Amino acid sequence: MKSPFRSLPRNLVAALLIAGSCTGLTLAAVPATAPAPAKRAVIIPTLTTNSVPRSVFIIPKKEADGRDPFFPKSDRLSKAGAAKNPVAAKMPTLTLVYNGLSGTADHQLAIINGRTLAEGEETELTVGNSRVKIRCIEIKGETVIVEALGERRELRLGSGK
């Protein structure tokens, strides 16, 4: 007569046998009677921090203070401290040209430095290496009033100021 377990895969039978034996072990490991309560241990909290050391490099102002550890033969730090002059930095000179007028009579558009602006509109223009915001205040046909770098300017059609 054939055994009914022959049709089951061998791995499933092995897994069931292992699972059954493990549960028997865990049940046997539990004691039948509860142990007497143990004395409470006093736990002293300790704060342990694992801080990562951080390198701090202060740029020396003069040669006597030290040198750059990455470029020890360089003298750029001593030259850079003496060459700084905050007054030397100037605002870029802004040349605005009113190129033309477009749009309808109700909604006029001014073309300034190749950018089309309506009244109240704001845009950024590239001047040298910096960007400057300009705002169109009023369009009067032959002239346009714009605000750039905090000052108002009146531009005439075809002339740059």
What would the pLDDT profile of 106-146 be if each residue is shown by its tens digit?
Answer: 999 999 888 999 999 999 988 778 888 999 999 998 999 99
Answer yes or no: is 135 within a domain: yes
pLDDT at 125: 87
How many domains, in total, are found in the chain?
1
Q: State the sign of the Cα–Cα–Cα–Cα dihedral 146, 150, 152, 156.
A: negative
Query: What mean pLDDT do residues 40-49 have?
Result: 73
Query: What mean pLDDT do residues 26-38 have?
Result: 60
Query: What mean pLDDT do residues 18-39 have?
Result: 62
Contact (Cβ atoms closer than 8 angstroms) between residue 66 and residue 60: yes
Answer yes or no: is 107 within a domain: yes
Answer yes or no: is 105 within a domain: yes
Contact (Cβ atoms closer than 8 angstroms) between residue 113 and residue 98: no
List the domain range (segments joined by +) for residue 125: 98-156
Q: Higher confidence at residue 5 or residue 60?
A: 60
pLDDT at 157: 87
Contact (Cβ atoms closer than 8 angstroms) between residue 127 and residue 160: no
Residue 99 pLDDT level (bands cut at 50, 70, 90): very high
Q: Which two tokens stand for residue 110?
A: 């001014």
Which segment of 36-45, 46-55, 70-79, 149-158 scores lowest on mean pLDDT?
36-45
Query: What mean pLDDT do residues 74-91 have?
Result: 60
Answer yes or no: is 68 within a domain: no
Residue 88 pLDDT level (bands cut at 50, 70, 90): very low
- Mean pLDDT for the chain overall: 77
Answer yes or no: is 11 within a domain: no
pLDDT at 24: 55
Residues 136, 109: Cα–Cα separation, whole Å: 10
pLDDT at 62: 77
**Residue bearing tokens 């750039």:** 148
Q: Which two tokens stand for residue 16?
A: 């069931």
Which segment of 14-23, 56-65, 84-93, 139-148 scores lowest on mean pLDDT?
84-93
Backbone phi and psi for residue 113, each to the nearest 5 degrees, phi listed first: 50, 35
